[in-house]
Amino acid sequence: MRVVVITGASSGIGAALAQALASERDAVVLVARRADILRSVGDKCGDHAQTIVADMTRRDDVQRVVREAVGRFGHIDVWVNNVGQGITRLPTLLTDEDIDEVMRFNVKSALYGMQEVLPHFKERGTGQIINVSSMLGRMPFATFRSAYCGAKHFLNALTATFRAEVQQTHPGIQFSIVSPGIVRTDFGLNARHGGPDSRQLPDSQSAEDVAAVIVQVIASRKPDVYTRAGAHDRVVSYFDALAVDP
């Protein structure tokens, strides 16, 4: 039985992914801070679901998640770093606390997950870490999401360099980036300093659509995947428009 740990699993993409994988008879370990909501998602996923209340911005909590997941199922096959938080603030107005918080939620939570599950994967010689990034980690076009753009760029670079380092000695361990655009979740409403409701923005997709792409990434083990057709071409066009030859 494939065992998948999903952080940020109480709602949005994480909850949708948990239910999609459970429907394929995978065992899912659901991690979030909100116990009651997390338990509700776990109940929908059936007997092979484990819920762990934990704060993924605390390294000791991440270590506990690894221990409890392995203790319940014997191993972990896939670890999905899905914790994240938006921030609504123009770059000229950013404070030290803004930067610290956006890095804590969007980078440190993933860093801790990668570092703490990696010894288990190395021991097994296989495993996959999936980091949920964003189109804003490719194209920093939303000025009011300035620090979030920067954090997701950081996450992408960290994922790529982890992959390059680890695969020198353990080629069976994959690090994948998944980059959604606007998703119809509570992301906008929960952003630091508030923000527009993501459900009201144009050109959005559902959490279930993103979850379906992540299920495919688990099957294919591709290193870098967008969740919308044409997204890659949009990124190329964005940078082509800015590029100037020396």
Question: Which of the following is catalytic: 112, 148, 226, 238?
Answer: 148
Burial of 27 (0-12, 13-18, 19+ CB in 10 A): buried
Cβ atoms 14, 6 nearer than 8 A: yes
Query: Which residue, among 91, 90, 88, has the nearest Cα to 190 in the 3D structure?
Result: 88
Give yes or no: 148 in active site. yes
Cβ atoms 107, 155 nearer than 8 A: yes
- CA separation for the pair 199, 230 (Å, rounded): 21
Beta strand 27-32 pairing with 127-132: unpaired
The DSSP call for residue 143 is: T
Q: Which two tokens mark 82?
A: 């899905």
Q: Which two tokens mark 34?
A: 């909100």
Cβ atoms 42, 35 nearer than 8 A: no
Which residues have a catalytic role annotated?
A: 148
